């Protein structure tokens, strides 16, 4: 859907205008005493069968923030792609209201839990869809977007991504973007930012920020992981880091990467940022991923569309074996308990920290 047609029909999908949810009679009500579980950045695709969504819900997952569009795009193409992706998700959620609830505030998580639905928050992993127009932040906010990542892998008008060599600071426009987002209750995401851009944003944002999907550089050296200095700064800022589940970003072990390797990142982040500032941001699909040549090829094509080096080879598998299930959040919960975390700490990591952050910033 091109921008003209989308803008013309935008009023049909602005939060609060769409028709009410379908009758949920017969569905098991979510037990309000069950732990709150939030994936701060995960993947829920429109092609998922509802049987898979039902199992994700049954595992206890209450809310997921999903990425809209292709974050590698720049220019007018990025705006058109953003509108198209919004349109697809709006239609998908509207078609399956007994499973999904579009979330624009924290109370929507509470409502979704009560009704045993999955709360879906929208985010973009790049500010390229707004171009150089701050008013587009208002436009996307009205359409339900509650989080923008400042940069993706490369440089944009706001700042610089983690794969650029220059390590540049925020631009003048970047400072204005953060100020605008702070003023409207939109969450600033620093995932994929280079160190200088991240440092500037942490200092400039008056609201807590999020690093929705990353891990710890001290545990495994990877350009997407975060140094101890920034983990400490994030804690002081009041923000949250979501530890992702991408195998080669967590460990060099390949097939033998384990739950224990993952929990080492959580433990390190807790040690440096504080237990109130660590969550889960899977950055991957909640389905079972087949270990096949066909699946690897699909991932290669996906990554080629996102990565500035189109010839770059991927390190397969991307999945961690113990997480290759729609019940992965249960696996993490049980693993944290087994590794010595107290229940109140696990509750924070699995959902309460993101809930608090969303309440503080989004409302």
Q: Which fold has domain 36-361?
A: TIM Barrel (3.20.20)
Instruction: Report the chain's mean pLDDT, rounded to a whole number.
Output: 90
Strands (E) located in 46-169: 63-67, 100-102, 118-124, 145-149
**38-74 per-position pLDDT tens digit:** 999 999 999 999 999 999 999 999 999 999 999 999 9
Distance CA 253, CA 262 (A): 12
pLDDT of residue 84 exceeding 70, the answer is: yes
User: Looking at per-residue confidence, does 295 or 140 come out higher?
Assistant: 140
Task: Residue count of the chain, please give it.
Answer: 363
At 235, list the tokens.
Answer: 């804690």
**27-45 per-position pLDDT tens digit:** 444 455 679 999 999 999 9
Q: What pLDDT score was predicted for residue 284?
A: 87
pLDDT of residue 230 exceeding 90, the answer is: yes
pLDDT of residue 358 exceeding 90, the answer is: yes
Kindly write down the DSSP assignment for every residue of 164-176, as one continuous string.
Answer: -SS-----HHHHH
Q: What pLDDT score was predicted for residue 77?
A: 97
For the CA atoms of 212, 283, 312, 81, the dihedral, rounded to the nearest 10 degrees, stands at -80
**Cis peptide upstream of residue 353 (ω within 30 degrees of 0):** no
How would you classify the pairing of strands 278-280 and 240-243? parallel
Where are the domains positioned within the chain? 36-361
At 167, list the tokens.
Answer: 């390590």
Predicted TM-score (pTM) of the model is 0.91
pLDDT of residue 232 exceeding 80, the answer is: yes
Q: What percent of the chain has pLDDT over 90?
A: 84
- Average pLDDT over every residue of 264-293: 95
Q: Is 77 helix (H, G, I), strand (E, B) or coil?
A: helix
């Amino acid at each position: 859907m091109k921008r003209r047609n989308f803008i013309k029909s935008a009023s049909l999908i602005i939060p609060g205008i769409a028709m009410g949810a379908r009758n949920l009679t017969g569905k098991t009500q979510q037990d309000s005493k069950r732990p709150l579980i939030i994936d701060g950045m995960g993947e829920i695709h429109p092609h998922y069968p509802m049987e898979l969504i039902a199992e994700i819900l049954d595992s206890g997952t209450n809310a997921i923030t999903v990425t809209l569009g292709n974050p590698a795009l720049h220019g007018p193409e990025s705006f058109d792609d953003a509108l198209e992706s919004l349109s697809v998700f709006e239609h998908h959620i509207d078609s399956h209201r007994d499973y999904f609830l579009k979330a624009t505030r924290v109370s929507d998580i509470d409502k979704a839990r009560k009704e045993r639905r999955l709360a879906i928050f929208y985010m973009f992993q790049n500010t390229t869809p707004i171009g150089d127009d701050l008013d587009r932040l208002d436009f996307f906010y009205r359409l339900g977007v509650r989080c923008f990542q400042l940069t993706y892998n490369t440089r944009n008008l706001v700042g610089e991504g983690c794969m650029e060599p220059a390590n540049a600071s925020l631009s003048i426009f970047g400072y204005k973007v953060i100020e605008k987002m702070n003023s409207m209750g939109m969450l600033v995401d620093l995932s994929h930012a280079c160190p200088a851009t991240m440092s500037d944003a942490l200092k400039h944002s008056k609201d807590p920020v999020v690093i929705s999907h990353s891990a710890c550089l001290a545990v495994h050296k990877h350009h997407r992981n975060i140094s101890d200095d920034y983990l400490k700064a994030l804690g002081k800022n009041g923000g949250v880091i979501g530890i992702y589940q991408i195998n080669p970003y967590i460990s060099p072990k390949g097939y033998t990467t384990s739950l224990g390797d993952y929990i080492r990142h959580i433990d390190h982040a807790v040690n440096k940022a504080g237990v109130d500032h660590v969550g889960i941001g899977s950055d991957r699909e909640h389905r079972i991923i087949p270990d096949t040549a066909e699946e690897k090829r699909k991932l290669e094509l996906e990554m080629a569309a996102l990565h500035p080096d189109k010839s770059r080879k991927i390190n397969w598998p991307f999945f961690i074996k113990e997480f290759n299930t729609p019940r992965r959040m249960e696996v993490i919960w049980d693993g944290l308990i087994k590794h010595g975390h107290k229940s109140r700490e696990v509750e924070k990591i699995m959902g309460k920290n993101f809930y608090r952050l969303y309440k503080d910033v989004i409302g």
